[in-house]
Amino acid sequence: MGKELPVRKSVRLKGYDYNSNGTYFITVCIKDGHEMLWDATTTVGAAFCRPQLSDIGRIVENEIVGLSCIYEAITVDQYVIMPNHIHVIIRISGGGRQNAAPTIPRVIGQWKRAISIKAGFSIWKKTRDMPRLERIFSE
């Protein structure tokens, strides 16, 4: 018999409405940890400049920047593209029209699909659930 896979717990908060206005820290990983978002010929270190993005890394960056144009209620506060994953801080502000604001799962799903189409293949780690998602609470 094959080895049993571990039971994974959901990274989503039970009962939380991801359509809620707020700020979310999201991490999305590349399939099999492949380092495909930076140019492999770039040397990184204290004495070197910021690494250059690969062609796929530039597609990812363009799609991140475009999120605010596609979704009126979405603002991308910050993002970092690492060699094999992306961190992005997204803010939803529906302006009192809660139904008009997109959900985080929908935004990330459509964002990932757009990148896969432009890249010509899926670069994403297969998950049973959402990408790593944390709600940032502000006072």
Find, among 110, 75, 107, the residue nearest to 93 by Cα.
75
**Domains and their CATH numbers in the chain:** 22-136 (3.30.70.1290)
pLDDT at residue 50 above 60? yes
Contact call for residues 109 and 127 (beta carbons, < 8 A): no
Write down the residue that tokens 């990330």 correspond to: 108
pLDDT in tens, 60-109: 999 999 998 988 889 999 999 999 999 999 998 875 555 556 788 888 99
* Contact indicator for 86, 37 with CB cutoff of 8 Å: yes
Residue 113's pLDDT is what?
93
Instruction: In whole angstroms, give the CA distance from residue 138 to residue 132.
Output: 19
Read off the pTM. Answer: 0.75
